[in-house]
């Protein structure tokens, strides 16, 4: 398998797990100390460190999933991801990868909207024989963040 195919598999399997509602799989796409951040393009380009969501370990992601499963205070909804072809370059520290995305949100009554568009900016490394995210930054195009943003993107 080529490096491109391995990276594309990781990106699409990540999206598939979330779209399928298999949230428990979400942390497993990261290294143990992996970082996950959702940030608006505006904050990102201004160099502001604080985003909308931040996790700095797999354990923190697992806590978040458990909270979502337990509290269950959000209106049930599902996502559907569409991903663009990733661009990437290899360096001494794995792969720097960027890709476009659009996420649709399907509410329980069936209403479907474009929920978010943007870019993934990823640092992908080999970890125990598989590719994983050491960091995944979700840069949202829109400054208007829906209050329902509770599932990872």
What region does 125 belong to: left with phi over 0, alpha with psi -120 to 50, or beta?
A: beta
Q: CB neighbours of 58 closer than 8 A, spacing ≥ 6? A: 27, 28, 30, 31, 32, 33, 34
49: which 2 tokens?
Answer: 């460190």
Output the smallest distance, CB 23 to its own copies, in A: 16
According to CB under 8 A, which residues from 65 to 84 bind its own copies?
78, 80-84
Query: Which parts of 13-42 interact with its own copies (CB under 8 A)?
Result: 13, 15-16, 19, 41
Rounded Cα distance, 27 and 21, in Å: 13
Residue in 32, 48, 67, 114 binding its own copies, rule: CB under 8 A = 114
Judged by CB under 8 A, how many residues of this single chain contact its own copies? 39
**Site residues for its own copies per CB under 8 A:** 4-5, 8-9, 11-13, 15-16, 19, 41, 78, 80-85, 87, 98, 100, 102, 104, 106, 109-114, 116-119, 141-145
């Amino acid at each position: 398998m080529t490096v491109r195919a391995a990276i594309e598999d990781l990106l699409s399997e990540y999206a598939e797990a979330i779209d399928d509602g298999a949230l428990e799989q979400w942390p497993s796409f990261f290294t143990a100390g992996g970082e996950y951040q959702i940030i608006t393009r505006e904050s990102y380009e201004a160099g502001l460190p604080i985003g909308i969501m931040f996790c700095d370990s797999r354990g923190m992601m697992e806590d978040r999933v458990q909270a979502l499963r337990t509290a269950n205070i959000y209106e049930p909804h599902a996502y559907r991801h569409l991903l663009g072809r990733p661009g990437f370059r290899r360096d001494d520290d794995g792969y720097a990868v960027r890709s476009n995305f659009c996420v649709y949100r399907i509410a329980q009554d069936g209403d479907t909207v474009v929920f978010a568009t943007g870019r993934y900016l990823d640092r992908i490394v080999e970890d125990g024989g598989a590719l994983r995210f050491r960091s995944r930054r979700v840069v949202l195009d829109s400054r208007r963040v829906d209050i329902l943003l509770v599932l990872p993107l």
